[in-house]
Structure 1
């Protein structure tokens, strides 16, 4: 699949490579010694906010040079290489549209910037692809967040790129818009295009990506399909806050089992903080022990379920 009607430097089947890349801004390290390879199909770049995902995408799009390391498209350096823009389409997280333009004018301008032979036909095709023809004559300033995302998508697709980079593309979309975009990305991946999208929501990535790259605090934390990433997350130590009718007796019973690494009294024995190292075994142990001892459980809640804590474990394990 060529990236445009005037020819492409790289055809579908392209491979993006990040090799030993770091990027810092003054004394802040945004990306730290990251290496990954992104090939045809859909890859999800997963991590909490502030993990460095946008910085990686901006380097892959040629907007930022790496401080050290190399970022390449099929072996060619991306930085200061304008030819890659024939092949790459970018949907940035930040608003990248002019509110005073209509959707049609914005997408048409991008088609003309690419020097396409029939810019009007390309713009019509791109707007139809994202189902935005109905609003193409309205000013972008009147669009909802989801509509803005779709018109940015149209501008990124106008030259039919072999590589598509999307930074948090589902932000602000309603359920129908999300399903439509997921279907569109699946079709692009199935057609052999290289699609990379970032997200901080695991379920979003699971639904779409064949390959997942996890980033935390600027570092590459894990890589694999969603089953492998799920396994890593499930197998990590879990922290629980437990309130029961007899916290001391419950603590004694839990400490005796190998599925827990530590049990602490919280406050004046009002609650227990338990670290479970064997997740599945612990989830079976707790109700059984409480039942056998006649101890009523009032509350069992995870106290470390933020993405930051999950991903931080992946980095340090």
Structure 2
């Protein structure tokens, strides 16, 4: 991936703690927009985010943010908003007081004005004067996000920002994050929830066991997995006849008749399969009712990368 115009450049970064390797030789770039760091718990996401935020020094390799070394660089810190995963707020404060406190700590000149803008951005104006102890988990996350962006940073680093939120709050947070990305900011967030990443991110970096497994959007990542066949579901009027016909195609690796009568076809060249399928069906007088790629989802991609299994 090109580093031209990149907000974040991670070059061969490793981090270990007492002999335990948390991140191993990771290189990636993060451009403006929303980028997701995806992986299961223990994949090294938080450690890498902390290195990008300047909170920990890599054991090996370099991290550059806006072209500068991020560690011990207060000038760069002012341009980063970092929101850790674990909730840590003074619940005796009101939401607005929390945001104003963050503004003062960041040296913002117009504390009240900046706090008001940040609270409006996350849509909590009506709740800003209530104590945080009375907030739902989703409301706390949104107000924490307001505190993270109160100093108007061009880079936001968000560790599991949607964790623990209910569906309605998740949608609100998602809309806020996507909106911030469309403003031209760089949003780097982590998640282990696949559908969140699919909906949120322009680009994805997949981490497994401390290593970077793949980068791109999820369909591009799936295309990188040349050693794994695609799985396609086909519903038709005569599954056995069509299955026998498809086995003659070079693009088809295997055909299975599912319990409900549909076909599950494995192919290493789905484009060729899609072109040949109508011809084969017509020659066999078989009517097609559905053709659906079962692997064309982030969940399936992650299953391949993390465990070597798919749909």
TM-score bin (small chain): 0.7 to 0.9
Give distance in 1, aligned partners of 2:236 and 2:110.
Answer: 71
* CA distance in structure 2 between the partners assigned to 1:155 and 1:26 by the alignment: 34
Corresponding residue SS for 2:85 = coil
Matched with 1:147 is: 139
Distance 1:255 1:30, change over 3 A: farther
Q: Give the structure 2 partner of residue 186 of structure 1.
A: 182
* Unmatched 5+ stretches in structure 1: 1-12
Residue pair 2:253, 2:268 contacting (<8 A) in 1 also: yes
Question: CA, structure 1 residues 312+23, in 2 after alignment: closer, same or farther (shift >3 Å)?
Answer: farther
Which secondary structure state, in structure 2, belongs to the residue aligned with residue 20 of structure 1?
Answer: strand
Correspondence for 1:197: 189
Structure 1 residues 86, 298: CA separation in 2 closer, same or farther (over 3 Å shift)?
Answer: closer
The change in CA–CA distance for 1:166 and 1:154 in structure 2 (over 3 A counts) is same
Task: Measure the CA separation in 1 of the matches of 2:224 and 2:86.
Answer: 35
Alignment-derived partner of residue 10 in structure 1: none
Cα distance per residue 1:83-102 (max 9 Å; x no partner): 53322111333323233322
After TM superposition, the score normalised by the length of structure 1 is 0.72
Quote the Cα distance in structure 1 between the aligned partners of 2:39 and 2:273.
27
Higher relative contact order (CA 8 A, sep 6+): 1
> Which residue of structure 2 aligns with residue 44 of structure 1?
35
CA contact (8 A) 1:48 1:307 kept: no
The within-5 A match list for 1:207-218 is: 209=202, 212-217=203-208, 218=210
Residue equivalent to 1:159 = 151
Any stretches of 5+ residues in structure 2 without a counterpart?
A: none
Q: 1:230 aligns with which of 216, 219, 238?
A: 219
Aligned length in residues: 291
Question: How is 1:1-317 mapped onto 2 (pairs within 5 angstroms)?
Answer: 15-25=7-17, 29-39=21-31, 41-50=32-41, 51-170=43-162, 172=165, 173-187=169-183, 189=184, 193-199=185-191, 200-201=194-195, 202-205=197-200, 209=202, 212-217=203-208, 218-224=210-216, 226=217, 230-233=219-222, 236=225, 237-240=229-232, 249-263=241-255, 274-283=265-274, 285-286=276-277, 289-290=280-281, 292-293=283-284, 304=295, 307=298, 309-311=300-302
TM-score, length of structure 2 as denominator length: 0.74
Cα distance in 1, alignment partners of residues 45 and 305 from structure 2: 16
1:150-195 Cα shifts (integer Å, max 9, x gaps): 21111112222232222344553354553344223312x1xxx443
